[in-house]
Structure 1
Amino acid sequence: MNARLVQVVLLILVSAVTAQAAVVKAWIVLAEGDALGGSTVSTLNSPFTDGVGRVGFVGSLADNQRFIWWDNGPVFFSGSIPGLTGGEGTMGVSDAGGFIYSPNVDGNDAVVTHGGVLLKKGDPVPPLPGLYSSFNSRPTMLPNGAAFWVGGTATSPTGSTSNRHLFKAADPTDPQSITRVLGGGDVIEGKTIKTSASNFDYWISDNGEHHIQVLDMDVPLNEHVYVDGAFVAQEGSPTGQGDNWSTFDIVSINNAGKYIFTGDTDGPANTDEFITYNGVIAVREGDTLDGVTLASGYTLRAASINNLNQVAHIWGSSTTEHLFFGDGADLLASVHLLGTGDGLDVDGDGQADYTVTDFAAASSVGPGLSLAENGYIYVEVEVTPVAGGTEFEAIIGISLLSSGACCFHDGHCEQLSQDDCTAAGGAVWRPDVACEPNPCFQRADLNCDGAVNVFDIDPFVLALTSGPGFEAYFAEFQGCDPLLADVNCDGAVNVFDIDPFVLLLTSR
């Protein structure tokens, strides 16, 4: 068990004695009924993350618009492009706030990005001369903005789908950047991909170097798991645990090429559901995780592996669901983070404000989870207020951190406990905050607004003149660091910092 998992175990033990009826600290990103864009939120979809863990998702409003949420707010409303309606739940966001999702454009199935309509039904497909788009689905986006999706082609603008492909747009604002990754008719290990197959379940690593996909091949035992040019599992072949692979569902892969996939075997019905790590079954129906037995009928609702080889996975039955988190190499040691019936403490008082009644993760349109490395997990849930009220849908965040962001005077950040931060000479400690992206302020940013500009002049003067304890500065700028005024880095705030401050200010 690695250090992060030890932190998670401690966090959960503090939250509750057992996994059942726990009170879990969380926050609501957005909820059904919230005011947004002059309307109110009516539905939400599974959350995804960019490369540094900022959350993105598609939602709909009471006025029938769709919106794209990224990080702290909406970045797109469908009303900004005439003819846009509907939209799949699958989407993707980049580190720069770019996005891709799949609505209809004038009734034609499409993929739309921050640059506008990328491809829609009836359009010529740039890498396939003479063929036309017949559908577009399951879009995703890498941190660098490259976009992927599954699309169909037809021999005429209004024709039926005759083949399916995985497409990539290196520049999601330019249809001419679209290329074909693979699709029906391609031959892998002597087997041909069916042109009539869906092949919707895929994932591309953040760095774009690794690719996993469930492929339907033109052979009797047709389902295969494909990884980076080769097959790692085939329907009907042995699992190594006394049964055979039967079906494959969710797939995910990271920058190192470590991967997971889920599905069923042909073994007994009470133990056939599984999740693998690098092709080996790691957990299956019937196992017990952190005191929770995955009883007969439990299935994988969502799963994702990040670049630290950590895996988030949701298991559930018709009556109960549970979110787990573990090291991919030791998934049986996964810890329980949240389950139906658990309480959510969203105001930090240690008491439940809401009760979780359902997880809304939908693996039918993607992995249902997108786990990054910043110490947070985002999930879509249904909750009911403890004080009474109507059940509603929400995107929530859960911290995996038992530490915080320790900000040093030079602006760098280390993940430390409060005591360790003080002992190390840290200036500001921010609980339950990750160091990626860096939440610390740079030198000369004396008003702590994230920028160095003329608005820092008055607080710089205040830090310079308020005495050795900086009382006057702290009274005005609580939570900021007056030693950010030590612009010449000599360990003191004094008149010798004036010229470097002016130079820094005027050089921007």
Structure 2
Amino acid sequence: MACSLVCTVARCSPALRLAARGLALASLWALGPGAAQAAVIPGEVVVQAGDVPLGAALPVASTRSPFALLDGSVAFVGLLDDGDAYVFIDDQVVWLGSSEMMSLLTDTETTMGAAVGGAFVYCPLVDGGEAVWTHNGLLALEGQPAPAYPMGVVSTFHSRPSMAGNGAVYWVAGLNTTGGTTTEQRVLYRSPTALPADIVPVLATGDMVGGLLVDAPTGIDFAYDVSSDDAHRIHVLLMDTGSTVDDGHIMVDGALLHQENTLNGTGDSWDNFDLVTINAQGLYVMSGDTNGSTLTDEFIAVDGAIAVREGDVIGGVALTSTAVVRLVSVDDAGHIAHAWSYASNTVETVFYACDPTDLAGSSRPVLTTGVDELDLNGDGLGDALVTDLQANNTSTTEALTNDGVLYLDVAIDDGTGPREAIVRVPVSCCGNGLLGPGEACDDGNLTNGDG
């Protein structure tokens, strides 16, 4: 049975929901960049503050960054009204911190990871210590012997968990070589089965990369990403160059490709690196700053080439200073979602681009905070104003699916006051003349089988 425009999370798959809304999106694309920033945007609420989702007995108080899965569903963490941390996958809460009876689990980091079939990883506090917790239980704990290291080396923190499509877990940990609490080194860990027995260091302080040593103590940056097929990895690193002027690097698949204070091909040099993401084809996207004018220094680069800068006009939107990249995400077909705050951080716009070789030219606004409303029931009318985008430039967000869905952590207001929510927004390249993944049209003209 065809999915109607009033689908709920439980009733229709993301792909069917996208097909049902393809006509509206095709119309937006055909009208061009100015019209694409529409006042009313089709979308759905996955979970919002005040909801009591399946698997929970109390209302949701907060939501954190979404993590898109290979089947088009979404996972994220957050807190309930009583402070209990939850893990949400697809359409329900699959884990509560209070479910653990042997230890006290509280709070949660913003980032998490999950895979189709119910696997997940997140970072709660376990008996007060920073930990990595998965569907299998405790994986690693602050203050305990560091996995895969000699006796006497202990973990000082655990942070930034993620998961590849095959269920492999990644995270960053701190180390102290003498059993103390100060972080002397960092390590990126991997566990293929989310079990303590197979935890291995992927990259650590003191490792040699491209003829340089990973610097201590913070050379392993928190900004990294692993492709959905677990075949590619991108990481921001600090290398021991002998100077803080040029120690920042971007490493892709084991090679140092970009270095702070070196020319970037646009007349200035790389200054720092912020967000990174990579897909199953090895295509990578990164954000950061150059050492140029502060009016134009913020950038997004695709495969190392700067594609959009602060001050540019993208899809009819002027990224006026101060402009900051808030989100970058790339699907396995190369479609890119990116979000900026601009005009001294007073406005935020989310963009979607169909051509990674022309990010600036193919980007279209999806929604703008404080301006656009979400149509949540398919009647074409605005039901809730999007008041804020919760994404920031310090944590990776896997926002895009491979079948044309964009998940966002936002604040919405239906007249009763702003509240946090994870929303599902369909995105499409309908109208660009190509039949892409998840699309039901090729050019938006409603002929030759389109729609």
Which TM-score bucket, shorter chain as reference?
0.7 to 0.9
Deviations 1:122-158 (A, max 9, x none): 2222311222211100000011100000001123455
Which of 13, 37, 50 is matched with 1:33 structurally? 50
Say if 1:99 and 1:113, in contact at 8 Å, map to a contact too.
yes
Question: Which one of 323, 329, 333 corresponds to residue 350 of structure 2?
Answer: 323
Amino acid at match of 2:405: Y
1:180 matches 2:201: yes
TM-score (ref. length: structure 1): 0.76
Match of 2:213 among 170, 185, 192: 192
Where does 1:459-478 land on structure 2 (aligned, <5 Å)?
none
Q: Distance in 2 between matches of 1:50 and 1:21?
A: 28
Q: CA deviation at 1:256?
A: 1.2
Instruction: Tell me: CA distance 1:66–1:13, structure 2 relative to 1, closer, same or farther (3 Å).
Output: farther
Q: Secondary structure at the match of 2:216?
A: coil
- The whole-number CA distance in structure 2 between the counterparts of 1:187 and 1:17 is 49
Amino acid at match of 2:440: L
Assess if the C-alpha contact under 8 Å between 2:33 and 2:316 holds in 1.
Answer: no
1:441 alignment partner in structure 2: none
Residue 360 of structure 2 aligns with an amino acid whose one-letter code is L
Give the equivalent residue in structure 2 for 1:257.
Answer: 282
Counterpart CA distance in 1 for 2:32 and 2:445 is 22
Query: Within the alignment, does 1:392 sit opposite 2:392 as a pair?
Result: no
8 Å CA contact 2:428, 2:439 repeated in 1 = no
In the alignment, which residue of structure 2 is the partner of 1:43? Answer: 62
Q: Which residue of structure 2 aligns with residue 357 of structure 1?
A: 387
For residues 135 and 414 of structure 1, the distance between their equivalents in structure 2, rounded to whole angstroms, comes to 40
In the alignment, the residues of structure 1 paired with residue 428 and residue 274 of structure 2 have an alpha-carbon distance, to the nearest angstrom, of 30
> Which residue of 147, 161, 175 corresponds with 2:183?
161
Q: 2:307 aligns with which of 282, 285, 296?
A: 282
- Separation in structure 1 between the aligned mates of residue 32 and residue 297 of structure 2, nearest angstrom: 32
1:76-475 to 2 correspondences below 5 Å: 76-81=95-100, 82-130=103-151, 131-172=153-194, 174-197=195-218, 198-219=220-241, 220=243, 221-317=246-342, 318-326=345-353, 327-333=355-361, 334-340=363-369, 341-364=371-394, 366-385=395-414, 388-401=415-428, 416=440
Which TM-score applies when normalising by structure 2? 0.85
Change (3 A) 1:80 1:138: same
Provide the secondary structure at the position in 1 that maps to 2:139: strand
Change (3 A) 1:245 1:9: farther
Superposed CA RMSD: 2.6
Deviation at 1:269, TM superposition (A): 0.9
Give the drift of 1:328: 1.5
Query: What is the CA–CA distance in structure 2 between the aligned matches of 1:207 and 1:298, rounded to whole Å?
Result: 33
Change in CA separation of 1:250 and 1:180 when aligned onto 2, cut-off 3 Å: same
Distance 1:52 1:352, change over 3 A: same
CA–CA distance in 1 between the matches of 2:158 and 2:318?
Answer: 39
| Alpha-carbon displacement from aligned partner over 1:28-83 (angstroms, at most 9, x marks no partner) | 00001112411111111010111222100001001111101111111111101131
Determine whether 1:63 maps to 2:82.
yes
Which one-letter code corresponds to 1:83 in the other structure? L
What's the CA shift string for 1:156-200, capped at 9, x where partnerless? Answer: 45532221010000111x101100000110111221111211511
Which has the larger Rg?
1
Distance in 2, matches of 1:39 and 1:132, equals 37
Secondary structure of 2:262's counterpart equals coil
Deviations 1:296-355 (A, max 9, x none): 211100101111011100011321000001121110121111111101100111010111
1:422 is displaced (CA, Å) by 12
Higher helix share: 1
User: CA–CA distance in 2 between the matches of 1:107 and 1:414?
Assistant: 44
Distance 2:64 2:154 in 1: 29
Counterparts in 2 of 1:128 and 1:414: CA distance versus 1, 3 Å: closer
User: Judging changes above 3 Å, is the alpha-carbon distance between structure 1 residues 402 and 233 closer, same or farther for their aligned structure 2 residues?
Assistant: closer
DSSP 3-state at the match of 2:359: helix
Q: In structure 1, what is the equivalent of residue 27 of structure 2?
A: 10
Shift of 1:391: 1.1
Q: CA deviation at 1:9?
A: 5.8
> Cα–Cα, structure 1 residues 313 and 256, in superposed 2: closer, same or farther, change >3 Å?
same
Q: Higher relative contact order by CA 8 Å / sep ≥ 6: 1 or 2?
A: 2
Deviation (angstroms), 1:87: 0.8
* Equivalent position amino acid for 2:237 in 1: L
CA distance in 1, matches of 2:312, 2:149: 48
SS of the equivalent of 2:188 reads strand
SS in 1 for 2:222: coil
Distance in 2 (alpha carbons) for counterparts of 1:59 and 1:181: 28
Letter of the 1:234 counterpart: Q
Structure 1: which 5+ runs fail to align? Answer: 404-412, 432-508
Change over 3 Å in CA distance of 1:414–1:92 after alignment to 2? closer
Tell me if structure 2 keeps the 8 A contact 1:20–1:339: yes
CA distance in 2, matches of 1:9, 1:421: 9
How many residues of Structure 1 are paired with residues of Structure 2 in the alignment? 409
Distance 1:68 1:376 in 2: 20
- 1:20 and 1:414 map into 2 onto residues whose CA distance is 22
